[in-house]
Structure 1
Amino acid sequence: MVEELQKASVTKLIEDGAVGEAFGYYFDEKGTVIHKVKTVGLQLEDLTSKKHVVTVAGGKSKGQAIISYFKNGKSDVLITDEAAAEQILRDVSL
C-alpha cells in the first residue's frame, strides 16, 4: 500500500514537471513550486533570514534541479562537481 502511494506520488510529480526538490519543495524547470511536503528542519522561507546559505549538490543528473532551485532559493555559495557544473552551463546557455 505505501509503495503504491509512493509510486503514485512520484508519477504525479513527474507529470507535473518536477525537476528538483529542496526542503520539501518540488520545483519545475522554471523554478515554480509545484508541490510541497512538510519536513522537519528548515523550510525554504527560513533561508531569507539566514546570513549565509551554502548549497551542496552534485552529479550530472542534478544540473537541472540546481538551476531550478536557484530561480527561487537563496544561496551564497554552490559546492558542486564538474558533471553538474557542465550540465548547468549547457542548460543555462540555451
Structure 2
Amino acid sequence: MSETERKDQIPGTELVRGIWVDVLGGDDFTDDESFFEIGGDSFAALRVLDQIRRQTGVRVSLLAFVDDPTVAGLRSALTAGQPADRPAGLT
C-alpha cells in the first residue's frame, strides 16, 4: 500500500482535502504542503475551520491549524478537537 493510499484510509483526510479544494479553488497540493504557502490566508483558514465544524460537529482551534497548516496536521487536529457544542477552552 502506498503512502497516499494509507493516508486516504485515515478518517478525515478526504474531508479535509475536499474543504481545502472548496476554499482554495483548486486541488494542486499535497497532504504535507502548508495551507499558507499554497495561497491560503487567515480569512480562508477561518472558512476551512467553519466548514469542518459544520460538517463534523468538531471545533478545531485556529491555533491548532496555524501550528501545523497541512492536510495531515489538520486531520490530526480534527481527531483531537472538541465537540462544537462545547465552549472553547472547556473540557
**Larger Cα Rg: Structure 1 or Structure 2?**
1
Is the helix fraction higher in 1 or 2?
A: 2
Relative CO higher for 1 or 2, CA cutoff 8 Å, sep ≥ 6? 2
Is the strand fraction higher in 1 or 2?
A: 1
- Scaled by the length of structure 1, the TM-score of the pair is 0.30
